């Protein structure tokens, strides 16, 4: 069995922002030199998400509206404040980001087949920052043979 | 380490439809001849979900109502149109299906123990088509020893 | 390749309750004696969730309010009944618990690096019981080398 581990760090200028990371995941898969296995892509913070979906700007705008409807928070660029949460009594202002993390999920597993990420034609991997403007880490871990 | 990969293709007559795939997953586990490991069950499209839950028709009707409430779209049989999404400006009509995919999730990992899927008594694996009436693929990948 | 499997059983006094299980997961990782790999943490029931987030009481109260808003059910201590679901026609009273399971997810994968769970500074693993007061199982399965 082989394994390979790589960490990425994000520091987005906006509170909330999408970052496409398919290429970084593919590079980790190549570096692992694994023919058959799995790649775990997992945020190491509790206020960020990882998901697989389409790289289409209209959809990303829909998604932003949707996460705000289901787990309301400040505007992505902080131009409007969000509702208060009990979590804010601990001195934080990111209660919404914790709920968005649970809504979207913080990890995906991508199968590796014949040495490549076995993704469908439109499947792209995204990191969804929900509370940026500071360094946040993500772990890529490949396992297989 | 052993691995085994299998693809399933769905072409549901309705836009939105549930398909139980526990037997297909169990067959893949047997074909892999793995005693201890994991089976990844992952949709290869961004408008379909995979989940583990109960095989009970009342629950499935509740689930249909729930995904429509949280991510509104056309009726399952297309008898009523859904709301407009920005994603539709790209020529698509399935914005709701992308959000439902993120709500339900597109993959599960099933542990394999003593050569069998290690599921609880009521755990069944389902493919949830959110934009059917065309061929859609899913990958089953088992890994272990 | 090595693997190690352990089952936990919960029997929470309340219908809905959070249980922190990071220590149990870490113990399973140690018992597996795996240096590099992955640990699957997966509820074996369809009315319980598993997630990774912060161990902060205010956030937990926000989370309880949030799951009740998106998938309404009885009060956590059963002091108020919840709405009716079609699933209840089968004799059950836990329709909301099935939806909460799908909202939160029933499993996470934790990377194992240098013999330890590779979690971020605030990442804690939780079992979220949605229909307690009876024995419910969870499986921990480590795989790696």
Alpha carbon distance C70, C73 (integer Å) = 10
pLDDT, chain A, mean: 98
CA of C40 to nearest chain A CA: how many angstroms apart? 11
Alpha carbon distance B90, B92 (integer Å) = 6
Domain ranges of chain A: 2-84+92-144
CB < 8 Å to C59, chain A: 85-87, 90, 95, 98
Other beta carbons within 10 Å of C2: 15
**Residue ranges of chain B whose CB lies within 8 Å of a chain A CB:** 1, 3, 5, 40, 42-46, 70-71, 85-90, 95, 98-99, 101-103, 105-107, 109, 137, 139, 141, 143
The first and second tokens of residue B61, run together, are: 């009707």
Give the H or E element holding residue B68: helix B57-70
Beta pairing, strands C17-20 & C124-129: antiparallel
% chain C with pLDDT above 70: 100
Residue closest to A49 by CA, chosen among A132, A117, A112 = A132
Three-class DSSP category at B85? coil
Which phi and psi angles does C50 have, rounded to 5°? -135, 130
All partners of chain C with 3 or more CB pairs under 8 angstroms: A, B
Which phi and psi angles does A30 have, rounded to 5°? -65, -45
Rounded mean pLDDT, A30-34: 97
The one-character DSSP state at A12 is: -
pLDDT of the residue at B38: 98
Which among C56, C123, C145 is the nearest to A1, CB-wise?
C145
CA of C141 to nearest chain A CA: how many angstroms apart? 15
A79-112 confidence digits (pLDDT tens): 999 999 999 999 999 999 999 999 999 999 999 9
CA angle at residue B40 from B37 to B46, to 5 degrees?
Answer: 170
Residue closest to A108 by CA, chosen among A23, A42, A54 = A42
Three-class DSSP category at B69? helix
Beta pairing, strands A107-113 & A116-117: antiparallel
The first and second tokens of residue C30, run together, are: 């140690």
Find tokens 């870490």 and name the residue: C26
pLDDT of the residue at A145: 97
Characterise C50 by phi-psi region: left (phi > 0), alpha (psi -120 to 50), beta (else): beta
Rounded mean pLDDT, C127-135: 98
CA-CA distances (angstroms) from residue A74 to A67, A96, C67? 11, 8, 20
Q: How many CB pairs under 8 A join B and C?
A: 89
A47-56 confidence digits (pLDDT tens): 999 999 999 9
CA-CA distances (angstroms) from residue C28 to B40, C8, C21? 21, 11, 11
Whether pTM > 0.95 for this model: the answer is yes
CB < 8 Å to B38, chain C: 40, 141, 143
Alpha carbon distance C21, C27 (integer Å) = 10
Class of domain C2-84+92-144: mainly beta
A118–B139 C-beta distance less than 8 A: yes
CA of B109 to nearest chain C CA: how many angstroms apart? 8
C31 band by pLDDT with thresholds 50, 70 and 90: very high
C44-94 confidence digits (pLDDT tens): 999 999 999 999 999 999 999 999 999 999 999 999 999 999 999 999 999
B1 band by pLDDT with thresholds 50, 70 and 90: very high
CB < 8 Å to B42, chain A: 109, 111
Alpha carbon distance B29, B24 (integer Å) = 9
B2 band by pLDDT with thresholds 50, 70 and 90: very high
Burial of C58 (0-12, 13-18, 19+ CB in 10 A): middle
The first and second tokens of residue C121, run together, are: 């500074």
pLDDT of the residue at B10: 98
CA of C117 to nearest chain A CA: how many angstroms apart? 11
Rounded mean pLDDT, A63-69: 98
Cβ pair B12, B87 in contact under 8 A: no
B109-125 confidence digits (pLDDT tens): 999 999 999 999 999 99
Rounded mean pLDDT, C91-105: 97
pLDDT of the residue at C134: 97
């Amino acid at each position: 069995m082989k394994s390979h581990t790589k960490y990425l760090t994000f520091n987005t200028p906006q509170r909330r922002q999408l970052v496409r990371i398919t290429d970084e995941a593919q590079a980790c898969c190549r570096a692992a030199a694994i023919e058959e296995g799995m790649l775990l892509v997992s945020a190491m913070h509790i206020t960020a998400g990882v998901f697989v979906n389409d790289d289409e700007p209209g959809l990303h705008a829909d998604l932003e509206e949707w996460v705000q409807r289901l787990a309301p928070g400040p505007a992505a660029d902080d131009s409007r404040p969000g509702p208060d949460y009990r979590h804010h009594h601990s001195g934080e202002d990111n209660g919404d980001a914790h709920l968005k993390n649970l809504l979207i999920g913080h990890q995906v597993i991508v199968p590796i087949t014949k040495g490549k990420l076995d993704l469908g034609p439109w499947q792209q991997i995204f990191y969804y920052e929900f509370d940026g403007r500071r360094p946040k880490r993500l772990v890529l871990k490949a396992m297989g043979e």
